[in-house]
């Protein structure tokens, strides 16, 4: 089986691999999701017992949706097939939530609510009034909260709580257009806040977000499967237009209600919420995202107190895992240090710097045990000097102890972790092995490794990584395995380039598909331009209001510099390929630099940033009313509509888009196609029926081969 087919059948080699790994708060269990094999898409809930080192299946979707499998031989063939279809169509268990000790898990499966006792192994279905979204147990594991949508297809969230006796109570809910307990589009897509409610530590109340989308324009997505149903549409906040109105409320289980007070008109974005101990901590941002506040909420009155301010003339970038309370009462805040010669992403405790400026802090994982009378150490993910690698560091928080950050472990690669009690689970992706290997330690004792049933690729890519130009741009080149030095090859620039994401990383999975492209006869090049993370705030924020110019200049300069180091790169035959932001960049490359780029594969591009969402477009380009010329300068539609001076410079494009895309709407590609047609620029449009933004960007055997045919035709 060759790469395109195997990658499609295994979802890029992810089926069967452990994911969503969490350590119980008491440190006795490691909980994770994993499907039964390399082609099984339905994830089940598993745990590793830390004392014994043994894995145990907690919840199997096939059993929960179809009854017990104790006597499979007695099942009629039709019933067996029906149960298999139910298991596959459910997609398995997509996520789960734990109580504070990690003894109880709650999850939704096919819209139904389940509670798992992780200590004794019992899994029961809990009656709910409608399809269940984001169920969460209270800290004691006694009650379950969940959100349910109406059955009429109109997004409407009711926040409900199920008591230990099964009583299902409405905690909050309103008419259509208002949701309770769900993150709005901007929070989830741009601030990575995927939750809309949080249990109080004592389990007596819930902090819930109320989201009013009634001001937003609804965008048509696609027709429904049932002709009698209304079309599927999305309330989408476009740049310069209204946002959803978001507020926070403290809801007592006995019916009491307290509003959380802050200046929501000045600070409309609720980017983060934490309530694990003490009172809630929230981060709110101005619409420009150039100023933010870390606020402590009084759970009795809803009044807020400013703990820290975040400010940057370009935009602020809070660190995931912050803000948070430290055991000594101080508040941990993540931010950027950009004065007195510093240029770093750092951690602060009540204004005191905890991490050295050489450390680029990416995420706070949690606290490391440090004895009952000692200040807690922090476990953080960070980079130091080499952006392609991410490691774990122990950061001291002792008052007056200065800056002390020590790397844990010496293995190269891309590290992540989860911690609970004295148990630490570490996941390592590397160029040296396939997938992510999860190892578990309890104190100094290695407990074991989580098993992976994922398929492995038949080859091991070996990208040549180097930093080029005076900007030291991270880049990589891949050749065919049998490449003979001195043989010049056409170049495929495979790019993303967008803010908040790196491509040049020391993880094998990133390079598997690119190596396949190399085996088709290309030298594959990937470059992380300014605007990407991992180096320094100044490197990331150089793109402010000039995204197109900075990023495209970096890509062209780095490609030219690589050709000096790699003479087998034939710059007379260069194609560019990208998806989402990378799709926009691929289109920009052939329209602005047809002398270098001979053709482009343009996947799900944002062709007009004025039609993309508020927070993303305005963060990098400013408000449209303050600079429509900036937006026009970044528009592929405007660029494609310019008269074509020399027909020989018209470079062919393959436009690809999922018709069910709810992030970059398919209208973007249709408008670009119309502009290309009007000016006589050659292109083809490949619509992917029923595909979302992420699904369409995944590996499809047929899609890869169509792209390959396109590149061979025009190179």
pLDDT, one tens digit per residue, over 270-328 is 999 999 988 999 999 999 999 999 999 999 999 999 999 999 999 999 999 999 999 99
pLDDT for the residue 156: 65
Measured CA to CA, the distance from residue 708 to residue 601 in angstroms comes to 10
pTM, entire model: 0.93
pLDDT for the residue 52: 97
- Work out the mean pLDDT of the chain and round it to a whole number: 92
User: Where is 713: in which H helix or E strand?
Assistant: helix 701-714
Measured CA to CA, the distance from residue 64 to residue 593 in angstroms comes to 56
pLDDT for the residue 85: 40
pLDDT for the residue 128: 96
- 3-state class of 553 per DSSP? helix
Which residue in the block uniquely carries the two structure tokens 């200040």?
375
Identify whether the C-beta of residue 627 lies closer than 8 Å to the C-beta of residue 664. no
Residue 74 pLDDT > 50, yes or no?
no
- 3-state class of 631 per DSSP? helix
Measured CA to CA, the distance from residue 133 to residue 212 in angstroms comes to 18
**Pair type for strands 489-495 and 523-527:** parallel
> Could you give the residue ranges of the DSSP H alpha helices within 531-640?
537-541, 547-565, 581-592, 614-621, 628-633, 636-640
Q: Which residues contact 158 (CB under 8 A, 6 or more apart)?
A: 129, 130, 147, 148, 170, 172, 173, 180, 181
| Residue percentage of the chain with pLDDT more than 70 | 93
Residue 388 pLDDT > 60, yes or no?
yes
Identify whether the C-beta of residue 283 lies closer than 8 Å to the C-beta of residue 323. yes
Region 609-613: mean pLDDT is 96
Measured CA to CA, the distance from residue 234 to residue 240 in angstroms comes to 17
Q: What are phi and psi of 560, to 5 degrees?
A: -65, -40
Identify whether the C-beta of residue 695 lies closer than 8 Å to the C-beta of residue 8. no
Measured CA to CA, the distance from residue 686 to residue 338 in angstroms comes to 45
Question: Residues 484-500: pLDDT tens digits?
Answer: 999 999 999 999 999 99
Residue 71 pLDDT > 80, yes or no?
no
Measured CA to CA, the distance from residue 612 to residue 678 in angstroms comes to 23
**Pair type for strands 232-235 and 55-59:** unpaired
pLDDT for the residue 401: 79
Handedness of CA 69, 73, 76, 82 (dihedral sign): positive
Residue closest to 595 by CA, chosen among 651, 550, 634: 651
Handedness of CA 704, 709, 712, 713 (dihedral sign): negative
Measured CA to CA, the distance from residue 692 to residue 448 in angstroms comes to 38
pLDDT for the residue 152: 46
Q: Which residues contact 120 (CB under 8 A, 6 or more apart)?
A: none
pLDDT for the residue 326: 93
Q: Which residues contact 391 (CB under 8 A, 6 or more apart)?
A: 381, 382, 383, 384, 407, 408, 409, 415
Measured CA to CA, the distance from residue 482 to residue 131 in angstroms comes to 54
Question: Cα Rg for the chain, rounded, in angstroms?
Answer: 26
DSSP state of 411: -
Measured CA to CA, the distance from residue 139 to residue 250 in angstroms comes to 16
pLDDT for the residue 528: 98
Q: How far is CA 469 from CA 263, 525, 547, 557, 582, in A?
A: 45, 15, 19, 7, 21
DSSP state of 11: T
Q: Cα 320 vs. chain centroid, distance in angstroms?
A: 12
Identify the band that residue 694 occupies on the pLDDT scale cut at 50, 70 and 90: low
Identify the band that residue 616 occupies on the pLDDT scale cut at 50, 70 and 90: very high
Residue closest to 105 by CA, chosen among 64, 54, 58, 171: 58
Which residue in the block uniquely carries the two structure tokens 């990378």?
582
Region 460-487: mean pLDDT is 97
What's the N-to-C CA distance of the chain in angstroms? Answer: 27
Q: Which residues contact 189 (CB under 8 A, 6 or more apart)?
A: 613, 615, 616, 663
Measured CA to CA, the distance from residue 262 to residue 284 in angstroms comes to 9
Which residue in the block uniquely carries the two structure tokens 């992976």?
452
Question: Residues 621-662: pLDDT tens digits?
Answer: 999 999 899 999 999 999 999 999 888 899 999 999 987 777
Residue 696 pLDDT > 80, yes or no?
no
427 pairs with which residues across the strands?
A: 416, 438
pLDDT for the residue 67: 53
Left if phi > 0, otherwise alpha if psi is -120 to 50, otherwise beta: which for 278?
Answer: left
Cα 189–21–497 angle (5° rounding)?
A: 40
Higher pLDDT, 418 or 225: 418
Region 19-37: mean pLDDT is 97
- The count of other CB atoms within 10 Å of the CB of residue 124 is 10
DSSP state of 351: T
pLDDT for the residue 68: 44
- 3-state class of 652 per DSSP? coil
Region 685-695: mean pLDDT is 77
Residue 80 pLDDT > 50, yes or no?
no
Q: Is the peptide bond before 74 cis (omega within 30 degrees of 0)?
A: no
**Residues constituting the chain:** 715
Q: How far is CA 510 from CA 275, 456, 495, 577, 655, in A?
A: 35, 14, 12, 15, 23
pLDDT for the residue 686: 93
Region 245-273: mean pLDDT is 97
Residue closest to 435 by CA, chosen among 373, 509, 348: 509
Residue closest to 603 by CA, chosen among 501, 485, 496: 496
58-72, 233-247, 458-472, 627-641: lowest mean pLDDT where? 58-72
pLDDT for the residue 199: 98
For the chain, the maximum distance between any two Cα atoms, rounded to a whole number of angstroms, is: 77
Identify the band that residue 75 occupies on the pLDDT scale cut at 50, 70 and 90: very low
Identify the band that residue 665 occupies on the pLDDT scale cut at 50, 70 and 90: confident
Identify the band that residue 150 occupies on the pLDDT scale cut at 50, 70 and 90: low
Identify whether the C-beta of residue 157 lies closer than 8 Å to the C-beta of residue 150. no
Residue 82 pLDDT > 50, yes or no?
no
pLDDT for the residue 70: 37
Question: Residues 400-421: pLDDT tens digits?
Answer: 878 999 999 999 999 999 999 9
């Amino acid at each position: 089986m060759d790469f395109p087919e195997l990658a499609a059948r295994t979802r890029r080699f992810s089926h069967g691999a452990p994911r969503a790994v969490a350590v119980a708060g008491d440190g006795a269990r490691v909980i994770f999701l994993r499907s039964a094999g390399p082609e099984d898409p339905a994830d089940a809930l598993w745990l590793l017992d830390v004392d014994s080192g043994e894995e145990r299946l907690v919840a199997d979707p096939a059993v929960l949706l179809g009854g017990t499998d104790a006597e499979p031989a007695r099942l009629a063939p039709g019933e067996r097939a029906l149960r298999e279809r139910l298991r596959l169509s459910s997609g398995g268990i997509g996520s789960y939530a734990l109580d504070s000790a990690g003894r109880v898990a709650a999850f939704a499966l096919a819209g139904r609510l389940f509670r798992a006792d992780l200590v004794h192994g019992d899994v029961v279905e809990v009656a709910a009034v409608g399809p269940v979204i984001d169920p969460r147990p209270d800290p004691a594991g006694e009650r379950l909260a969940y959100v349910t949508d109406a059955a009429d297809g109109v997004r409407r969230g009711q926040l409900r709580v199920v008591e230990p006796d099964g009583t299902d109570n409405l905690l909050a809910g309103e008419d259509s257009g208002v949701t309770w307990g769900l993150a709005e589009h901007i929070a989830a897509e741009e601030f990575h806040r995927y939750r809309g409610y949080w249990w109080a530590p004592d389990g007596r109340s819930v902090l819930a977000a109320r989201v009013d989308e009634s001001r937003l324009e609804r965008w048509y997505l696609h027709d429904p499967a049932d002709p009698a149903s209304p079309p599927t549409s999305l309330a989408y906040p476009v740049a310069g237009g209204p946002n959803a109105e978001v507020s926070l409320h403290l809801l007592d289980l006995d019916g009491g209600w307290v509003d959380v007070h802050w200046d929501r008109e000045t600070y409309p974005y609720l980017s983060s919420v934490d309530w694990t101990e003490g009172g809630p901590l929230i981060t709110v941002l101005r619409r420009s995202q150039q100023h933010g506040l870390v606020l402590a909420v009084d759970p009795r009155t809803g009044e807020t107190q400013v703990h820290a301010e975040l400010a940057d003339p370009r935009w602020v970038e809070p660190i995931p895992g912050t803000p948070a309370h430290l055991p000594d009462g101080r508040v941990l805040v993540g931010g950027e240090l950009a004065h007195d010669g510093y240029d770093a992403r750092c951690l602060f405790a009540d204004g005191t710097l905890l991490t050295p400026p050489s450390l680029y802090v990416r995420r706070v994982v949690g606290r490391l045990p440090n004895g009952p009378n000692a200040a807690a150490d922090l476990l953080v993910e960070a980079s130091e000097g080499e952006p392609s690698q991410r490691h774990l560091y122990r950061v001291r928080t002792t008052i007056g102890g200065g800056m002390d950050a020590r790397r844990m472990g010496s293995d190269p690669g891309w590290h992540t972790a989860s911690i609970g009690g004295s148990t630490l689970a570490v996941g390592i992706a590397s160029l040296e092995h396939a997938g992510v290997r999860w190892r578990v330690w309890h104190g100094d004792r290695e407990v074991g490794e989580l098993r992976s049933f994922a398929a492995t690729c038949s080859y091991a890519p070996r990208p040549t990584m180097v930093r080029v130009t005076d900007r030291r741009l991270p880049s990589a080149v891949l050749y065919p395995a049998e490449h003979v030095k001195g043989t010049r090859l056409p170049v495929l620039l495979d790019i993303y380039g967008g803010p908040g994401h790196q491509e040049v990383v020391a993880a094998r999975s990133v390079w598997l598909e690119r190596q396949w492209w190399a085996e088709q006869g290309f030298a594959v090049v990937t470059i992380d331009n300014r605007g990407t993370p991992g180096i320094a705030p100044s490197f990331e924020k150089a793109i402010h209001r000039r995204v197109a110019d900075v990023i495209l200049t970096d890509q062209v300069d780095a490609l030219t510099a690589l050709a000096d180091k790699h003479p087998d790169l034939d710059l007379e035959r260069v194609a560019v390929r990208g998806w989402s932001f990378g799709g926009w960049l691929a289109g920009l490359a052939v329209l602005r630099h047809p002398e270098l780029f001979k053709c482009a594969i343009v996947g799900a591009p944002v062709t007009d940033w004025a039609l993309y969402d508020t927070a993303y477009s305005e963060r990098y380009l400013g408000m449209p009313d303050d600079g429509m010329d900036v937006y026009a300068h970044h528009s592929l539609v405007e660029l494609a509509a310019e008269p074509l001076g020399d027909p020989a410079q018209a470079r062919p494009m393959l436009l690809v888009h999922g018709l069910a895309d709810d992030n970059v709407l398919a209208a973007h590609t249709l408008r670009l196609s119309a502009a290309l047609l009007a000016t006589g620029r050659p292109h083809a449009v490949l619509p992917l029926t029923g595909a979302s933004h992420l699904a369409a960007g995944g590996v499809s055997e047929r899609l890869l081969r169509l792209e390959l045919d396109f590149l061979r035709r025009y190179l």
